Structure 1
Amino acid sequence: MTGLRYVYAVCRPFELPLQSQLTGIGGAPPGMLHHHGLVAVVSSVPEADFSEEALKAHLEDLDWLAATARAHQGVVDALSTVTTPLPLRLATVFHDDSAVRSMIEAREADFRRILDRLAGRVEWGVKVYLEPEAEPAEDAPATAKPASGRDYLRRRRERSHAQEDKWQRAERFAQSLHEQLVGQAEDARIHAPQNSALSAAPGQNVLNAAYLVPRRRSEEFVELVDRTKDEEPGIRVELTGPWAAYSFTGEESGEES
């Protein structure tokens, strides 16, 4: 292979084949670099796109980032069907195979420890949203105009209190659900709420959490989430997964050279 080496994940050697038509970044099929009993899943990428300066420019290109993230996740998801991968961060690149081997040697103990911990486990994502209020129908009678400034302020206070009550109810629901799910999981991570301006999901994100669950207990976990979906009117619960355990790798930053 030529160009820089893009590393998707590290895993242990596996025997089952990956999907025959699987492609990674730039449409190239991923390869396996074996070293010290571990496997780096890699592909060749052009330096023109993945050098340090090029990546800085690409951070402003949301379409490029989205396409790269989809290709990266596609490889990791395929690995998840045949082994337990430890995903590396998006755009982890090295000059050549020798640099990838050096990275494996430098982080070997951590890789083995994390892979042992993640073996046979998957990540499920759960989000709780406070649904947006329905828009009044076009033929609904118009709300009477406030009779005075005092009346206007009173109505504003009432709307504010009503919204606060809904938010507190959603928070109590989310906290109760989280405590139940933690009981079914081996670990959990609470992420920052999604920005409604950047997300296509309607409503206010109250809970954005990830759960590390043994595969054998995933059915119980999913059933528990499903039972809560219609418990509270005006509150929406979304379940995603199973994924590779992105939130539990400790992969805060990649090694780049």
Structure 2
Amino acid sequence: MADTGTYVYAIAPEAGSPRPGGLTGVAGAPVRTVGRASLVAYVSTVPLDRFGEEALRHSLEDLEWVEETARAHHRVVEAVAAAVPTAPVRLVTVYSDEEQVGDLLQRRHDDFVALLSQVAGRREWGVKGYAERVGPPAPAGGDVSGTGSPGTAYLRRRQADLRGREDTWRHAVAEAERVHARLSAVAVADRLHRPQDPSLSGREEWMVLNGAYLVDDDRGDEFAAALESLRGHGIDLELTGPWAPYSFTVLDTGTTGPEGTAGPGDTP
């Protein structure tokens, strides 16, 4: 049984694609290309005792390992995307050998060409929106109505606090929807991702927006200016990018092993 696999980072058109040169990828492995049907895949060799299906089940639970791997993966993708239209492949996508990768390029040629055409001349921007987890201050001690037991007074203060939190949440969500609509008008495509857990975002506030926007290169400044005009209305907006178009090139590549989902917005 083979003890190594072929890790895939990205797919690009053969014409104009940069040579990997001294580029290194995950686990410090040198990057090379596999070409077929006018396409190239950027790959490296990885040990299956660390990147095989069973090993990955444990590795993906190690946030430090995931962070290190995601950074190396992203470094390769960005190096390619700086030169040509690029379809990033999901984190830790591993094939048995180069021949299997070449077969993928041949079999899914039309799908890859369509994806690369869609993202040509465009980059991905990420926007996250956060709202404070607060409501209006609860009434001071005692019965808010002036009558009743301390227990009743506590319940009324608790209900007032919950109503305040609900109002804050509704306002934040409405504002996030307004921000998303405005930014989507500048982008050619958009995606709404699930809110991140605080352990990934590094923030304790509610995440009410986790959007990705595919923007023409010549409209990047316009997109950033649109976001700036939306600040100061109850949610804190965080802009990242421009990135390779991770959110707009998702394609089932047919691997059977576990695949991560980390993209630029998820990488610490």
Report the TM-score range of the alignment, normalised by the length of the smaller protein. Answer: 0.7 to 0.9
Q: 1:151 aligns with which of 150, 153, 160?
A: 153
Cα distance in 2 for residues equivalent to 1:225 and 1:19? 35
Question: Which secondary structure state, in structure 2, belongs to the residue aligned with residue 182 of structure 1?
Answer: helix
Deviation at 1:41, TM superposition (A): 0.5
Unaligned segments of structure 2, at least 5 residues: 144-149, 258-268
Is the Cα contact below 8 Å between 1:89 and 1:254 reproduced in 2? no
Paired residues of 1:129 and 1:203 also in contact (CA < 8 A) = yes
Q: Quote the offset at 1:133 in angstroms.
A: 4.1
- Contact 1:126–1:209 (Cα < 8 Å) also in 2: yes
Please give the TM-score of this superposition, normalised by the length of structure 1.
0.88
User: Residue 178 of structure 1: SS of its match in structure 2?
Assistant: helix
Among 187, 190, 194, which residue is 1:188 paired with?
Answer: 190
Q: CA deviation at 1:104?
A: 0.9
| SS in structure 2 of the partner of residue 29 of structure 1 | coil
Q: Which moved more, 1:117-126 or 1:59-68?
A: 59-68
Aligned Cα RMSD in Å? 2.3
String of CA shifts for 1:76-119, please: whole Å, max 9, x gaps: 11212111110111111122211111111111110111111111
Instruction: Give yes or no for the alignment of 1:161 onto 2:163.
Output: yes
Q: Render the CA deviation track for 1:178-216: whole Å, top value 9, x for unaligned.
A: 111111011111111122355312300111111111111
Give the partner amino acid of 1:145: G
Whether the aligned pair in 2 keeps the contact of 1:87 and 1:246 (CA below 8 Å) is yes
Structure 2 CA distance for aligned equivalents of residues 27 and 179 of structure 1: 42
1:205 match: secondary structure: strand
Shift of residue 219, structure 1, vs aligned partner: 0.8
Counterpart CA distance in 2 for 1:129 and 1:192 is 13
Moved over 3 A (4+): 14-22
SS of the counterpart of 1:90?
strand
Q: Which amino acid aligns with 1:31?
A: R
Counterpart-to-counterpart distance in 2, 1:225 and 1:252: 32
Task: Name the structure 2 match of 1:62.
Answer: 63
Matched residue count: 247
Matches within 5 A, 1:30-69: 30-69=31-70
Aligned to 1:205: 207
Alpha-carbon distance, 1:250 to partner: 2.7
User: For structure 1, which runs of at least 5 residues remain unmatched after alignment?
Assistant: 137-142
Letter in 2 for 1:188: D
Match of 1:106 in 2: 107
Instruction: Provide the rounded CA distance (Å) in 1 between the counterparts of 2:50 and 2:199.
Output: 29
Q: Is the 8 A contact 1:186 1:211 kept in 2?
A: yes
The CA distance in 1 between the partners of 2:20 and 2:12, in whole Å, is: 17
Cα pair 1:18 1:82 within 8 Å, conserved: no
Letter in 2 for 1:123: E
**1:242 matched to which residue of 2?**
242
TM-aligned CA deviation for residue 163 of structure 1: 1.3
Contact 2:20 2:31 in 1 (8 A): no
Partners of 2:230 and 2:19 in 1: how far apart? 36
Using the alignment, how far apart are the partners of 2:172 and 2:11 within structure 1? 39
Shift of 1:19: 8.0
